[in-house]
Each structure stands twice: as structure tokens, then as C-alpha cells.
Structure 1
């Protein structure tokens, strides 16, 4: 499975709120997850608007002996 890093910023896009790793693949599912996460920040009342950026692909894997 592939992942991406989504960075959430305040309304002015100046302050990074949080970096979240999310599954990459289904664009519709990714947008739903992003909007759900952004809604959590809005519910705090601390922010009026949330911006986000989708950053580099993050790969995962494992190796065993």
C-alpha cells in the first residue's frame, strides 16, 4: 500500500498545524479523509479555515529474516 503526507495549515497558510500520513490510491477516499481531518481542526474553534497540501509519496514495507 502507498501513502502520502498531508500537511494541514491555518487560514493564512502560514502555520503548519499537523502532518498526517494517509493512504494513497483512491482519490475520492483520500479527499474524504482529508476533509474529515480538516473538520476536526475547525471544530476546535481555533481556526476559521483550514488549508492542506499533499506531499511526497511515502512507501512502506518490511523485511524479515
Structure 2
């Protein structure tokens, strides 16, 4: 279980370093920056969305999802 919480912290820290509360990041950028697959990144980001820590911005069909860090 500890590994899962470490990944949440890693994603949040990465987003803070990249100032994602102002300039959102693509799912791919987060996955690459945290050295995980895009599918793992999506899983963790969706969980963080449920906790109101991040917020997705989907601007149309077929476009990349950008993620904001909620203040």
C-alpha cells in the first residue's frame, strides 16, 4: 500500500514543480516525468480527481487531457 501513496506524492510533487496550478500538464508529460505508464498516470490522476487535488480540462473530443493542480 505504501507504494501507492508514494506515487500520489510523486505526481503531486511533479505537478507542483511544473506549476500545474497555473499551467496545466498533459497526461503524457506527467507519466514521463514520474516514470510510469500513461495508463498508470490516468489511474492515479483519476483518484486524485476524486479527492479534489487535481482537475482535468478536456477541451473537445480527441484532444489530450490537461491536468490542473487545485489550490
Would the TM-score normalized by the shorter structure come out above 0.5?
no
Compare the two structures and name the one with the higher helix fraction.
2
TM-score (norm 2): 0.31
TM-score normalised to structure 1 length:
0.33
Whose strand proportion is higher, 1 or 2? 1
Higher relative contact order (CA 8 A, sep 6+): 1
Instruction: Please say which structure displays the higher CA radius of gyration.
Output: 1
